[in-house]
């Protein structure tokens, strides 16, 4: 199913926890190209699983406009990524390719690029795609057009300000929270305590950015 072909519905079943028993307005960000990115043979991180998840959703009829609105994300711009990440790190991600990495040994070491976080074809576009989806989801929530916004390609929470870590290059969670904070102004320490329970793993980049600033 082409994400752009979905209607403007997006109403899930009423939630028992919702006092007014209203249907939740759900949107789901998906780029069909995300499954084409390949970390390399034997690597446990497989973006193709996002495509498999999308196929399952389609099979079960969950992509119908009455269930959720399917949206294709806008790629995150460099300026968007630099809201958390350093300029030189983002510039490196934009420029490096499998063909040019051999001449950038020092930069690879500096930015923690290696077996866990390899350079592969389309690396920067991949980062733009999943980060753009998470930021787009936050925008939808801020605008109040949807109650639930989903990005199954995101959640790459290990990425740090100036280096990759744990299969993650760009920290889309931090970027999404920064977007949410444009509307929901709270103190830094309070925002960290509020957001941590929403994630299943505790991650250092999030802690450093939101707890100690």
Active-site residue, 85 included: no
Reported as a single tens digit per residue, the pLDDT across 23-65 is 889 999 999 999 999 999 999 999 999 999 999 999 999 999 9
Could you say which of 43, 85, 158, 184 is catalytic? 158
CATH superfamily of domain region 3-211: Histone deacetylase domain (3.40.800.20)
Calpha distance 208→210 (Å, rounded): 6
Q: Which residue has the higher pLDDT, 91 or 16?
A: 91
Q: Taking the chain, what is the end-to-end CA distance rounded to the nearest angstrom?
A: 43
Q: Please give the pLDDT value at position 181.
A: 87
Q: Where are the domains of the chain?
A: 3-211
> How many Cα neighbours within 13 Å face the side chain of 26?
18
Reported as a single tens digit per residue, the pLDDT across 146-166 is 999 999 999 998 999 999 999
Q: Please give the pLDDT value at position 17.
A: 46
Q: What confidence tier does 204 reach under pLDDT thresholds 50, 70, 90?
A: low
Position 122 pLDDT exceeds 60: yes
């Amino acid at each position: 199913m082409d994400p752009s072909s979905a209607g403007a519905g997006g109403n899930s079943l009423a939630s028992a926890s919702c006092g007014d028993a209203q249907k939740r307005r759900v949107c789901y960000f998906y780029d069909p190209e995300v499954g084409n990115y390949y970390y390399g043979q034997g690597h446990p991180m497989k973006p193709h699983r996002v495509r498999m998840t999308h196929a399952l959703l389609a099979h079960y009829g969950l992509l119908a406009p009455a269930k959720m609105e399917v949206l294709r994300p806008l790629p995150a711009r460099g300026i968007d990524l630099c809201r958390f990440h350093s300029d030189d790190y983002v510039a490196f991600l934009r420029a490096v390719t499998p063909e040019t990495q051999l001449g950038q040994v020092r930069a690879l070491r500096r930015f923690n690029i290696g077996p866990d976080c390899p350079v592969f074809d389309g690396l920067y576009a991949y980062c733009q795609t999943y980060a753009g989806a998470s930021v787009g989801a936050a925008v939808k929530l801020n605008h109040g057009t949807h109650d639930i916004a989903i990005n199954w390609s995101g959640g790459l929470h290990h990425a740090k300000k100036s280096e990759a870590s744990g299969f993650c290059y760009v920290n889309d969670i931090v970027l999404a929270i920064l977007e949410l904070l444009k509307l929901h102004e709270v103190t830094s320490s309070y925002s960290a305590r509020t957001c941590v329970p929403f994630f299943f793993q505790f991650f250092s980049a999030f802690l450093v950015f939101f707890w100690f600033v």
